[in-house]
């Protein structure tokens, strides 16, 4: 395990362009040291025979079937959903051009 000391914290702060005072350096020595101790503890756990999980919860998703909802058209035959659009173009929402 990497030893977290003032020298390491000062070096990381320098590389990161951070200005840390003495109190902050001491706090980082302790907090980062604690984090690395916890990671080291986790790496020692025997995981033989344990399958990796995609999600943290071992549960199947409860999906519902898709349902098509008709919005209908206005008196001009245009989709009603476009009535809330600030600008319409070719029977769709007009959005700002991204690529010139």
- Among residues 48, 26, 25, 33, the alpha carbon closest in space to that of 2 is found at 33
- Distance of alpha carbon 79 from its chain centroid, rounded? 35
Structural domain boundaries in the chain: 6-43
**pTM metric for this prediction:** 0.48
Residues 21-63 have pLDDT tens digits of: 999 999 999 999 999 999 999 989 999 998 888 777 767 777 8
When pLDDT is averaged across residues 67-76 and rounded to a whole number, the result is 86
């Amino acid at each position: 395990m990497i030893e977290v000391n003032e020298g390491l914290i000062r070096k990381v702060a320098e590389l990161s362009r951070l200005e840390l005072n003495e109190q902050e350096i001491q706090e980082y020595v302790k907090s980062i040291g604690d984090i690395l101790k916890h990671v080291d503890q986790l790496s020692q756990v025997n995981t033989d025979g344990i399958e990796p999980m995609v999600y943290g919860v071992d549960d199947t998703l409860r999906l519902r079937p898709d349902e098509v909802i008709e919005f209908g058209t206005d008196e001009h035959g245009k989709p009603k959903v476009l009535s809330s659009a600030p600008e319409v173009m070719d029977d769709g929402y007009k959005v700002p051009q991204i690529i010139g």
